Amino acid sequence: MHDIHPDDCIFIRETDSTWRATELARGPWDSRAQHGGAPCGLLAHLVESAPSEIDWQLARLTVELLRPVPIDRLETDVTLETGRASARVEITLRANGKRVARAHGLLVRAGTLALPSDLPRAAINRLPPPEDCPRPLRIPGLPEVRSFYYTAMEGRVAGGDPAQPGPAAAWLRLKVPLVAGVATSAAMRIAAAADFGNGLSWVLPADRFAFANADLSLHLARLPAGEWIGLQASTSIVSSGCGQTITQLYDTQGPCGVAVQSLLIMPR
């Protein structure tokens, strides 16, 4: 495991609209490009920071990864529309003058409801707690170099076997700040972790196929508590080269949301 340095982070804020990615944003497919979880976490930060009031909660984040996001300076444009009960944020991420990603965020005004004690609840499996999951997460075919997957994120296997194809579960937590000098929020943590669903539940070997996701749609019933984010993921693909990963998201208190990724399958 590569050492963590005291000043390590994934992004450095240069101005209100420019950010520089560090080597800890690096992804598995191209040493010059970011792991999808890095821009997803940054975009979650920008979405939840857009309204001036503090009583908004992220309910949905959809990120479209238009092309590989380089490990370079990034520029952002933010548009905010606010209503009485909801706010919508659109963000464009550019590198070297080209659009590389865009995000659509839905925030709802947070409140407190007196819910009935007999409220029906969906029957969803719970994950064993992180402290009962000592096995480190290792995904076959992903390089063990200083990067987002191997250095910035800690993973522990919570179900299935990520060394074999098929559904699997894991706990993930960021080990470094997503943005230097900024406290990593719950929304940033879960957006950064949710992008791991397709790699966790891979169905084709990474040395023969690339299975990058073109988007990530994150729907949250509530924000997660604590630093650990649980993923229970399943991937399906078809011969046309399309695929889909559906991931149930957890914190240590139970389920808190779901993520869906559209996959592009390509032979190497």
pLDDT of residue 215: 97
Q: Quick check: 1 pLDDT over 70? A: no
- H helices of 148-201, in order, are 186-194, 197-200
Is residue 249 within 8 A of residue 186, CB to CB? The reply is no
Rounded distance between C-alpha atoms, residue 41 and residue 24, angstroms:
13
The alpha carbon torsion through 110, 90, 195, 86 (nearest 10 deg) reads: 20
CB atoms within 10 A of CB 208: 9
Cα Rg, the chain, nearest whole Å: 18
CA 24 to chain centre: 15
Q: For residue 202, give the H/E element and its range.
A: none
Is residue 23 within 8 A of residue 147, CB to CB? The reply is yes
Measure CA of the first residue to CA of the last residue in the chain; give whole Å. 27
Residue 170 — pLDDT band, cuts 50, 70, 90? very high
pLDDT of residue 58: 95
pLDDT of residue 123: 64
Q: Quick check: 124 pLDDT over 60? A: yes
pLDDT of residue 24: 96
List the domain boundaries for the chain: 11-110+127-267
Is residue 78 within 8 A of residue 19, CB to CB? The reply is no
pLDDT of residue 90: 98
Q: Quick check: 72 pLDDT over 90? A: yes
Q: Average pLDDT for residues 60-74, to the nearest whole number?
A: 97
Q: What percentage of the chain reaches a pLDDT higher than 90?
A: 77
Is residue 100 within 8 A of residue 69, CB to CB? The reply is yes
Question: Of how many residues is the chain composed?
Answer: 268
Q: Quick check: 54 pLDDT over 80? A: no
- C-alpha separations of 52 from 18, 40, 59, 195, 210 in Å: 19, 21, 17, 28, 41
Rounded distance between C-alpha atoms, residue 217 and residue 102, angstroms:
12
Q: Average pLDDT for residues 194-202, to the nearest whole number?
A: 95
Rounded distance between C-alpha atoms, residue 35 and residue 55, angstroms:
31
Architecture in CATH for domain 11-110+127-267:
Beta Barrel (2.40)
Dihedral class, residue 203 (left if φ above 0, else alpha if ψ from -120 to 50, else beta): alpha
Rounded distance between C-alpha atoms, residue 140 and residue 138, angstroms:
6
- One-letter amino acid of 97: G
Is residue 91 within 8 A of residue 81, CB to CB? The reply is no
